[in-house]
Amino acid sequence: MCWCSITSGTPGKTRMLGTGMRVYMVVLFCDLALWGVLWGWVCIQGSPNNGGLTWLWALGGLRWAVLHMVSMMTPSGPVVHRWVATHCLLWPIFWSSRAMLQPETLNDTILRPAGLALVTVSAAAACLFWELTFPEAQAGDLGKEEKKQQAKALFFRVVRYSRPDILHLGTAFLFLTLAVICETFIPYATGNVIDILGSKYEHNSFLWAIGIMGILSVGSAVCSGMRGGLFMCSLSRLNMRMRHMLFHNLVQQEISFFEVIKPGDLASRLQSDTNMMGLSVAMNVNVLLRSTVKTVGMLVLMVGISWQLTLLTCVEMPLLAALQNTYNTYCQAVSQQLQDCKARAKELAGSTVGQIRTVRSCGADSSEVYRYEETLLEMHRVHSNKGIASAVHLLLRRIVTITVKVGMLFYSRQLITLNKLTIGSLLAFVLYQKDMVSNLKSLIYAFGSMLNSVGAAAKVFKYLDRKPNQKEAGSLEPAHLEGCVDFRDVTFSYPSQPEKPALKGVSLTLQPGKVTALVGPSGGGKTSCVSLLKRLYEPQVGEVLLDGQPLHLYQHSYLHRKVAIVSQNPVLFSGSVKGNIQYGLQDCTMERVVVAAVKANAHDFICKLEDGYNTDVGECGEQLSAGQKQCVAIARALVRDPCVLILDEATSSMDTNMQQAMQEVLSGKVGQTVLVVAHHLQTVEKAHHIIFLEDGAVVEEGTDKELMALRGRYHRLKEKLFEQGSSGS
């Protein structure tokens, strides 16, 4: 049985609600019978108040034991057990609290039928409120129970990550408690001041009461400020740690991971999810604790002022909670719609502005504006619906509040006439009641938000716990490398297309100090060979060896220093030219940067830039031409002094003269193994060895002369390109 099923309309839940109601009626009936027996016995013994509190507790305990056993015999769950406990023990708890605050009231008649009926209603209302606010997993619903366990585990894991901030958090909790104590007593002190003003005025008592009020107000303000500041500080530290750990783990992942996961997803994990996760500890726990402690404190004080008015107030809460719950559920759905609309509008604006040249040249300006307008209209519609729902919610809330308030004022008038309540106490009570409602609102909100943040934590931990799906790098760092590369019977398919191998049993050798060219038609597998040599992927079959050792045995940054690549579309990062050349190197001097730039034919144009080597190249190097970008990328490779240099169409954006000069510079370095990947076969004619790759397999290999003499695939491709070139010209 679940109380929260009241809000649901599904047949399964309606059935459960029916069962729940039956169990509730059975237990109530048994309780009535039990009362009948006990009442008869008490009447025979004498006055019902004879035994005082001890007697009341014994009675409550006995009822609890009997009703618990009865409920065990019915198809009930933990919700019924909780209600039985509240139902039986609320009465003794109430009288015990009352006895503590106003011992003289113990002489009143304890067992009044009207009071007992009110307690029965209050216990049911309190349970209803609790189950609506903190929905329980349903009996038999293992999936939900598991999720709850997971949520708990995740929450405590987030708490564990907050351990380094234990001092901040501990101090914050201390200030929280002090602030709550001060806040709770402010209305009480205000009521006292009003009473002094309203009755026989005594100046000293008035000053004393005002002083207490002032101290409480200042104390609450100072402690709240300290609490908020310390929680924010812990939150920021936790965020920093989580982001660092997550980013560290993300950059360790294999390349195929980044092909499958969208960059936006990862950015969201790093930004919003880590933030939300932190909120679960620092903010929500803060609000939850503050509101819970304050609610309990206020309830005790309210019961002290008037238990009748407190019970009346209890009627308002479940109603408001049910309203809030329904409204929250609606808001969550609307927020999701709004997020989608915003994301669509952002994506549309971004892609249109980013690709404005294509949009303009296709004449699609007005259709893009129309699409954007449609998204904005949709967003406006969702916003309007949210506004209407908010207005209805507010109206219903006000109606409930006003109705209860009117009832309360009528009853207060009676109590004041009977001298059971003073004007000051009434004022204090009204202040507490107002606070109580806002407190409960923040409790519900904080709890919902905590569940959301636990969801965010699950996403963050998913990436934080992910182990890279590739062999761990070894520790080989030999002082000298020959630069001999061997592909031994390598078969490889990309993780996104496992059934379609990009390389099929490829065996090839790059001789140390020689220039080897990989040529062949598009899709032949040239770039795949390069990616394996850079260890961006691992082959499924066979292995790639550098100086006889598998690549994974080499230390990670050593390998990428010794095997450098210049690709067709090199990526430059926003920052200075110098920073881009020495990218990824720890101690790279300016001299080495200049030497590499000179070799890469980049020095002259860099010197002509506004700030020379310190010029900012802009986002993705947009301040430089494609050819200049390639020169900077070549300098970046050369500054590493690699023993294997990969040029993947590295000179394609340069003019022919520059290409020739660059090829000569690059291939003329003694002792360096060079692998050239090229479509323009003229640029590879001088290579020591040419390998022709087609459909992921080596088809021909030899020197340019040998392959031309063979009159095979290389010969045909060269002729075809020559014909295309001459017809083009």
Residue numbers at the binding site for ligand ATP (CB under 6 A) = 259, 494, 496-497, 502, 520, 522-528
Torsion 100-105-111-116 (CA) sign:
negative
Looking at this protein, which amino acid is placed at residue 491? T
- CA 279 remoteness from chain centre: 10
Nearest alpha carbon to residue 505 among 530, 536, 542, 532: 542
Phi and psi angles of residue 517, each rounded to the nearest 5 degrees, phi first: -110, 135
Identify the residue whose tokens are 């609000």: 287
Please tell me the distance from the alpha carbon of residue 658 to that of residue 285, in angstroms, as a whole number: 65
Q: Which two tokens stand for residue 576?
A: 């200075």
Write out the DSSP string of 275-327.
HHHHHIIIIIHHHHHHHHHHHHHHHHHHHHH-HHHHHHHHHHHHHHHHHHHHH
What are 693's two structure tokens? Answer: 């790759």
CA atoms of 530 and 646, how far apart (whole Å): 7
Whole-angstrom distance, CA of residue 364 vs CA of residue 220: 61
Taking alpha carbons only, the member of 533, 535, 527, 598 closest to residue 568 is 527
Look at residues 219, 222, 227, 220 and name the one whose alpha carbon lies nearest to residue 170.
227
CA distance 455 to 336: 14
- What value, to the nearest 5°, has the Cα angle with vertex 572 and ends 654 and 672? 65
| Pairing outcome for strands 673-677 and 515-519 | parallel
SS3 508: strand
Tokens of 170: 């501990």
Considering only CA atoms, give the Rg of the chain.
Answer: 39
Using CA atoms, how far residue 587 sits from 566, 584, 590, 591, 594, in Å, is 21, 10, 10, 12, 14
Phi, psi of 571 (to 5 degrees): -100, 125
Task: Decide: helix, strand or coil at residue 254.
Answer: coil
User: H/E/C letters for each residue in 405-473?
Assistant: HHHHHHHHHHHHHCCCCCHHHHHHHHHHHHHHHHHHHHHHHHHHHHHHHHHHHHHHHHHHCCCCCCCCC
**Closest distance of CB 497 from ligand ATP, Å:** 5
Please classify residue 56 by burial: count the beta carbons closer than 10 Å to its beta carbon, then call 0-12 exposed, 13-18 middle and 19+ buried: buried
| Minimum separation from the CB atom of position 250 to ligand ATP (A) | 19
- Round to whole Å and give the CA distance between 567 and 569: 6
Q: How far apart are CA 327 and CA 548, in angstroms?
A: 68
**Contacts of 56 by beta carbon, 8 Å cutoff, 6+ apart:** 91, 92, 95, 110
Q: What are phi and psi of 546, to 5 degrees?
A: -120, 120
* CA 281/CA 156 separation, integer angstroms: 9
The three-state secondary structure class of 586 is coil
Length of the chain as a residue count: 729
